[in-house]
Amino acid sequence: MKEKKKTYLIWTAGSALALVLIDQLAKYLAAVNLRGKEDIILIPRVFQLHYLENRGAAFGLFQNQKIVFLVLCAVFLAGVAWFLYKTPPSSRYIPFYALGAGLSAGALGNGIDRLLHGYVVDFFYFSLIDFPVFNVADIYVVVSSICLFIYVCFVYQEEDFSFMQRKKG
């Protein structure tokens, strides 16, 4: 593997690892400071910290499907790794490496929780709109997904993805 490519991939993996550590620290602090206690109201009737052990997905879907979530996490991480492996080591594609780090960190952060505890620790709650309780890893996935959508739809052109096509010969 060429040195520049190796550098990009190491930077991406290191960034993802740092983000996972931040996520896991936030979840640990939430468990220590919120489990079994009253919510911490940050903005009355709008936003609070609320401890929740989520054994499903958003809105309580797919409760207690630990194996399904772990398999999906592994497939997702493999897909991100494959895409980044194929992505050229060029400054033009740095956003993809950064977003790959965010997506991977989110999937891995919640995957670690499911593997170790059988649930994901959620603690951010927008009570104003009764939005599902979420965590730092969820933020990584949502923000990275939105940014990826914007880049793919509005910044890059079809020919920018020619590296994904199978080489003939």
Q: Which sequence positions are flagged as catalytic? A: 122, 138
Closest C-alpha to 24, from 133, 105, 128: 105
* Distance (Å, whole) CA 27 – CA 67: 21
* Distance (Å, whole) CA 31 – CA 34: 6
| Radius of gyration, alpha carbons of the chain | 18
CB 102 within 8 A of CB 19: yes
Please name the helix (run of DSSP H) or strand (run of DSSP E) that holds residue 50, with its range, or none.
strand 47-54
Closest C-alpha to 113, from 17, 23, 15, 16: 23
